[in-house]
Amino acid sequence: MEIIWYIIIAVILTVFFILDGYDFGTGIIHLFFAKTDKDKEVISKAAGLFWDSNEVWLVAAGGLLFMAFPTFYASVFSGFYLPLIIVLWLIIFRALGLELRSQINHSIWKTIWDKAFGVSSLLLALFFGIALGNVARGVNLGGVEYGMSAYEPHYFFLPLWDSSFSPSTTHPGVIDWFTIVIGIIAVVTLAIHGANWILVKTNASINNHLKTVIFRLNIALAILTVFSLSIWHIVEPHPLANYLEYPLFLVFPLVYFIGLIGMFFIKKLKKEVHGFIFSSLIITGGVTSTLATMFPVLLPSTNNLNPDLTIYNTATSTYGLSVAIPWMIIGGILIVAYFIIQKKLNKGKIDDREYGH
């Protein structure tokens, strides 16, 4: 049952990063490349018409995580309390930027909320990447120092950063040079994804230029991918162990590289949706490859005194996991129905749709 729920939550999180990921990426493109008011308005609509339905997947993932792996949920929500509050405020400001932009027709008002949308989207992409880096790197579970635990074995505390800025220190911070690298990869990936979404949903004047932007960002992503793989052994001594034990897991990095290679042909793709599919493969492959590398660990321990948090030692009872299945199915049907209806109502190009007035 633990593996079943692990797969379910992993799928929901991946769907969230694909769907809300294009909202983040749209905001990044809006911040750096949208120059005219017309482009700013239509790109805002490309995210604004969809963000609320996309974030339902994050709520669903959080609720299922609380149900299935309560010890892990309690651990990360206390240990990562500060960055989670920062993420919460960024989500709020992103929504405010989208919803309030068109309420008053004044350049100063629009500029304030355009910046709120763009900057919060950029920082959200960065912080979600940093979060993935923290989970891959691990934390000092129990706060071990001089061979003694300061807390219970499954709890930890992280400052926002440590003076050493190193992932190998006894008490690493949320932000170090390794997690920053993963955060930058997330920003570049979601910027590519958001640009593809803009191509699919709008006729913005910058669309032709965005294909060049995507191509250049993909070169940067390829370089960052090689660099991240070269430093992976610093935080994980045996990074390929799971791929040797479970060869089927190799499909996940294969998906990532298919998406990465496909994006190099962005200027030759006949349909805009094909670019969106390739960037979705990059996100899917990146998230699942990380999870496959760690399986069955949810949060590694960086000390030898307290064990890793896994899907087995953090799960609720077998009875609880089995009882939740039918309720998950009912909830899943409602979410999917909501998602399908919302997407059908906003199918095609959205340049002329009303939003935020």
pLDDT tens for residues 100-150? 888 888 888 988 999 999 999 999 999 999 999 998 888 888 888 877 777
pLDDT tens for residues 22-35? 999 999 999 999 88
pLDDT tens for residues 181-235? 999 999 999 999 999 999 999 988 899 999 999 999 999 999 999 999 888 888 8
The pLDDT > 90 percentage for the chain reads 48
Q: What is the DSSP string of 271-327?
A: SHHHHHHHHHHHHHHHHHHHHHHHTTEEE-BSSSSSPPEETTTS---HHHHHHHHHH
Domain count, the chain: 1
Binned at pLDDT 50, 70 and 90, residue 357 comes out as low
In a domain, 239, yes or no: no
pLDDT tens for residues 54-92? 888 888 899 999 999 999 999 998 888 888 899 999 999
Q: What is the pTM of this model?
A: 0.92
In a domain, 11, yes or no: yes
In a domain, 281, yes or no: no
356 or 27: which leads in pLDDT: 27
Domain of residue 25 covers: 2-191+293-345
User: Residue 248 and residue 26: Cα distance in Å, rounded?
Assistant: 34
Instruction: Determine the pLDDT at residue 183.
Output: 95
In a domain, 262, yes or no: no
Query: Is the pLDDT reported for residue 170 higher than 60?
Result: yes
In a domain, 40, yes or no: yes
Q: What is the DSSP string of 47-96?
A: HHTTHHHHTHHHHHHHHHHHHH-HHHHHHHHHHTHHHHHHHHHHHHHHHH
In a domain, 64, yes or no: yes
In a domain, 139, yes or no: yes
In a domain, 123, yes or no: yes
Long-range contacts of 344-348 (CB under 8 A, 24+ apart): 346/49, 346/50
253 or 102: which leads in pLDDT: 253
Residues 6 or more apart whose CB falls under 8 angstroms from that of 184 comprise 126, 129, 224
The pLDDT > 70 percentage for the chain reads 99
